[in-house]
Amino acid sequence: MPVQVGAIVEGTVSGITNFGAFIDLEKGKTGLVHISEVADEYVKNIHDYLKNRQKVKVKVLSVESNGKISLSIRQAALPKKKSTKPAEVEWIDPAEKQSDMSFEDQINQFLKDSEEKMAEIKLRNKDNRRGNGYGNRR
């Protein structure tokens, strides 16, 4: 059975170079794991991650017409992402949201709330000021 793209297979490290590692697969096939596909982090020295004759699980990235097989240890190690369901949100109908207040009362309430928030923001900003650099000289 030929090696299929996307399959995760087991292989043995047969050679290590400064740009990657050669992996022996089933039926005498050999593929290359590029150094960027060895780990999720930056790999400066591939010998810190792989040794000759080490068994590894690899994902088949591509199989070219000339027989070259591209492999990835990093992608084979990634856990499958679970599908996440969006959080339940209670939507409020705008018609239900309206209160017994008149439009003018709603505007006045909005202005009052807005002024309180602005005063709070200004007070917070005043405390955060460090000066402009001219008045603090000694």
What are the pLDDT digits (tens) for 2-55?
788 988 999 999 999 999 999 999 888 999 999 999 998 999 999 999 999 999
In a domain, 96, yes or no: no
Q: Look at residue 1 and tell me whether its pLDDT is greater than 70.
A: no
CATH classification of the domain holding 65: 2.40.50.140
Q: In this predicted structure, what is the pLDDT of residue 91?
A: 72
Residue 70 and residue 108 share a domain: no
Evaluate if residue 116 carries a pLDDT over 70: yes
Which letter, b or e, does each residue of 31-59 get, where b requires 16 or more Cβ atoms within 10 Å of its Cβ? bbbbbebbeeeebeebeebbeeeeebebb
- Give the percent of the chain with pLDDT over 70: 81
The answer to the question of residue 64 being in a domain is yes
Average pLDDT, the chain: 84
In a domain, 19, yes or no: yes
